Structure 1
Amino acid sequence: MGKQLPQLNDRLTEFIGRQHLFFVATAPAEGRVNCSPKGMDSLRVLSPNRILWLNVTGSGNETAAHVLENERMTLMWCALTGPPLILRAYGKARAVHHGDSDWDELFSHFTPLPGARQIFDLTIDMVQTSCGMAVPLLEFNEDRKLLNNWAETKSKEELEAYWTEKNTLSIDGLPTGI
């Protein structure tokens, strides 16, 4: 059954590396809780207590607003193939934006993705496993290419204009740091 650990171990890090999908959850002090599915080659485990996630342009920017206000973040993975397992990483995150002093160093951990908007740097204070026996078995076909294709048609200026129009405030009106 479930266990709580102070950090990731090798087995859990390998599990993360095999997953094509993860979820990010954040919440402001007041307002809506956000839980979003994420994919692509956008996640790196740097150490047992540190994960980077490269966030690309999307229709909203709730995570950035929430983290700017209170830093809490949970990442979750579910085994959709193989033995059942659910893994959650709890901690505090910060958003790193283009132009921040450590953007280039953190961005170097990733294969560049079109429309890269922020990097979230999560410091883990606890991980928790649970059985996952009710999670369905699903087959991975391929990553969707729609978002990358859309971002590749935009210039840097057009992406920045989109961020200004769509990504500067959360749905609750909180600033996102863009």
Structure 2
Amino acid sequence: MSKFYTKITSRLQKFIEAQKIFFVATAPNSGRINLSPKGMDSFRVMSENRVLWLNVTGSGNETAAHLLENERITIMFCSFDKAPNILRLYGKGKEIKEGDENWNDLIQIFPEIPGTRQIFDITVDSAQTSCGMSIPFFDYKGERNDLNDWAAEQGKEGIANYWENKNQTSIDGLPTKILE
């Protein structure tokens, strides 16, 4: 049975902190929905209604484009071990980039990760749990280092070139403003 909350309770926070993977969904006003799996040590619960997600360079930058247009974001966690559970966080997000006012304070909360692109600051309007009894069991074997290795090999200049060539617009042609 699903249940809605107006905040992230301590029990929900513990569940979030135990997960190795989460999923981020955003959508423009018109166009494709973006749904992506995320990992690494890149998610923090800051308060009952605020979370931060450190985003690294990837093939697209859909989340930034969508949040510029309408701020809507959903984050989903699900348990692949132990007790079945699904948790969705619904809210509004904004992008914080290096050079922005809060960057220096917020980046210190996360480990140094090559290819860091931005932090998304999300105000959580509501949280929803559901049973997750159909979710299969999976064993966690460890983190992949492929993206970190690639980003480290690129260096800051290579990452900046990648952003210029591949991260300035969404797949629907919306601006990401990554270089502004």
Aligned length: 178
List gaps (5 residues or longer) in structure 1: none
1:28 aligns with 2:24: no
Query: In the TM superposition, what is the alpha-carbon distance from 1:98 to its structure 2 partner?
Result: 1.2
TM-score (norm. length: structure 1): 0.99
Task: Tell me the equivalent position of 1:171.
Answer: 171
- Offset, 1:112: 1.2
Give, in whole Å, the separation in 1 of the partners of 2:26 and 2:131.
Answer: 23
Q: For 2:72 and 2:110, locate their aligned partners in 1 and report how far apart those are by CA, in whole Å.
A: 23
Query: Residue 122 of structure 2 aligns with which residue?
Result: 122
CA separation in 1, counterparts of 2:49 and 2:174? 28
Alignment of 1:1-178 (within 5 A): 1-178=1-178
Distance 1:148 1:5 in 2: 36
Cα distance in structure 1, aligned partners of 2:101 and 2:164: 21
**In 2, distance between residues paired with 1:69 and 1:109?**
27
TM-score, length of structure 2 as denominator length? 0.98
Between the aligned partners of 1:19 and 1:117, the Cα distance in structure 2 is: 22
Letter in 1 for 2:171: I
SS of corresponding position for 1:45: strand
Task: For residues 61-104 of structure 1, give each alpha carbon's deviation from its aligned partner in whole angstroms, at most 9, with x where no partner exists.
Answer: 10110001100000000000010000000000001111111111
What's the CA shift string for 1:20-55, capped at 9, x where partnerless?
Answer: 000000000000000000000000110111110000
Q: Which amino acid aligns with 2:94?
A: R
| One-letter identity of the residue aligned with 2:16 | I
The SS at the match of 1:82 is coil
Runs of 5+ unmatched residues, structure 2: none
Tell me the CA shift for residue 11 of structure 1: 0.6
Once superposed, which parts of structure 1, at least 4 consecutive aligned residues long, lie more than 3 Å away? none
Q: State the 1:155 CA deviation.
A: 2.0
The one-letter amino acid paired with 2:167 is N
1:153 & 1:74 partners in 2: Cα distance? Answer: 32
Q: CA RMSD in A?
A: 0.6
Aligned equivalents of 1:145 and 1:158: distance in 2? 18
Distance in 2, Cα, partners of 1:16 & 1:30: 31
User: How many Å separate the matches in 2 of 1:47 and 1:177?
Assistant: 28
* Secondary structure, counterpart of 1:155 in structure 2: helix
Letter in 1 for 2:135: V
Q: Distance in 2 between matches of 1:6 and 1:18?
A: 21
Measured in 2, the distance between the counterparts of 1:100 and 1:177 equals: 13
Query: By how many angstroms is 1:162 displaced?
Result: 0.5
